[in-house]
Amino acid sequence: MIFVTGGTGFLGRHLVPVLCQAGYSVRVLTRDASANSWLQRYPGVQIITRDLLDKDVIKRGIAGCRYVIHAGGMFRFWGDERAFLETNAFGSEHVMAAAHAAGVERLIHISTAAVIGQPDPNLIIDESYPPNPADPYQRSKLQAEQSAIRYYEDRHLPVVILRPGAYYGPLGTYAFNRLFFRDPMRGIIMQINGGSYIIFPAYITDVAQSILAALDKARLGEIYHICGDWISHKEAFDIVCEEANIRWPRLPI
C-alpha cells in the first residue's frame, strides 16, 4: 500500500493511475472531496478527505502502508508566508513524523527545483548547487526539504527528495500551464522582467514516471532534480506562439 498526499492535484491526476497500473494499492489524501470523482475509475483506491494539518488523520492514513509519496502542498505565485509554511513546511513535518512512527520502507518527498531560485544560467545547475529561494513558496519548500534531511540523518527515516521543475502537460489548469499555454491562446502574454525569468520545465507524465522509479531505484537520503534544461519565459513564450501561430502583444511586468 502507498499513501499519497495531493492525490487529486495536477501531479496526483497522473501519478495515481501510474501507481495503479504498476500494481500498487493506493490510499489518497485529498482536501477537496469535489475533485475525487475521477478516482471512481480506480475502485481499489482508498480516499481520505482531510488536509495536511490534521496530524491524527495523517497518522491513521499512513498506518499499514509500505511507502509514502508526499506530493501535497500549496502552490501560488504569491501569498502569505505563514500560509505557505503551515501547509508546505509544517504539514510536511506531520507526514514525516507519521511515516517514521509507522516504520515505512520509503518516503518520497516531492519538493521543487524552484528552491534554487534564479541561478546563474552560465553555470551547471545540479543537485549540489546551493538553494537560494526568493519567495514565500520557495522558502517553505526548502524548509520542508531541510526537515526531511534531518529526519533521515537523525532518525533514519528512509527518505528520497525529488525536485521536479515547472509542471506542464494535460489536465493542468493553473501555474505554468496557464501562463505559457492557456493565457497565450486567449491573447494574454505576460513577460516578467522582460521575459528573462528562468524555469526548469518538467512534463507531467515524466514526473509521475520518475516518482514510480524512485520507489525502488533512488538512493536514500539523496536529492534528485526531475526537469529539463532551464529556459527563459521569453523562450517558452516564443516556442508556444510559433507552434500555435499566435501573434499577440506582450505585457511587461
Distance (Å, whole) CA 36 – CA 34: 6
H-state helical runs in 3-80 = 10-21, 55-62
CB hemisphere CA count around 125 (13 angstroms): 24
Backbone angles phi, psi at 85, to 5 degrees: -65, -40
pTM over 0.85: yes
Residue 102: domain span: 2-171+200-230
In a domain, 188, yes or no: no
What DSSP string describes 189-239? -EEGGGGT-EE-EEEHHHHHHHHHHHTTSSPTT-EEEE----EEHHHHHHH
Report the pLDDT value the prediction gives residue 163, as an integer from 0 to 100.
98
| Predicted confidence (pLDDT) at residue 207 exceeds the cutoff of 60 | yes
Q: Using CA of residue 54, residue 19, residue 144, residue 222, what is the dihedral sign?
A: positive
In a domain, 31, yes or no: yes
In a domain, 83, yes or no: yes
pLDDT digits (tens, 9 = 90+) for 15-26: 999 999 999 999
User: To which H or E segment does residue 47 belong?
Assistant: strand 46-49
| Predicted confidence (pLDDT) at residue 87 exceeds the cutoff of 90 | yes
**Maximum distance among all Cα pairs of the chain, rounded to whole angstroms:** 56
Length of the chain: 253
Distance (Å, whole) CA 189 – CA 89: 32
pLDDT digits (tens, 9 = 90+) for 94-123: 999 999 999 999 999 999 999 999 888 788
Lowest-confidence pick of 56-70, 175-189, 221-235: 175-189
Distance (Å, whole) CA 58 – CA 239: 42
Contact 71, 12 (CB under 8 A): yes
User: To which H or E segment does residue 101 belong?
Assistant: helix 91-102
| Predicted confidence (pLDDT) at residue 244 exceeds the cutoff of 90 | no
Total structural domains within the chain: 1
pLDDT (mean) for 153-169: 96
Report the pLDDT value the prediction gives residue 1, as an integer from 0 to 100.
97
Report the pLDDT value the prediction gives residue 253, as an integer from 0 to 100.
58
Kind of pairing, strands 231-232 and 198-199?
antiparallel
Q: What is the amino acid identity at position 43?
A: P
pLDDT (mean) for 86-100: 97
Distance (Å, whole) CA 85 – CA 138: 10
Distance (Å, whole) CA 135 – CA 140: 9
CATH number at residue 220: 3.40.50.720
Which of these, 76, 45, 81, 85, lies nearest to 61 by C-alpha position?
A: 45
Burial of 3 from C-beta contacts in 10 A (0-12 / 13-18 / 19+): buried
pLDDT digits (tens, 9 = 90+) for 213-236: 999 999 999 999 999 888 888 888
Distance (Å, whole) CA 93 – CA 151: 9
DSSP for residue 19: H
Report the pLDDT value the prediction gives residue 139, as an integer from 0 to 100.
97
Lowest-confidence pick of 43-52, 168-177, 179-188: 179-188
Report the pLDDT value the prediction gives residue 248, as an integer from 0 to 100.
64
In a domain, 129, yes or no: yes
In a domain, 30, yes or no: yes
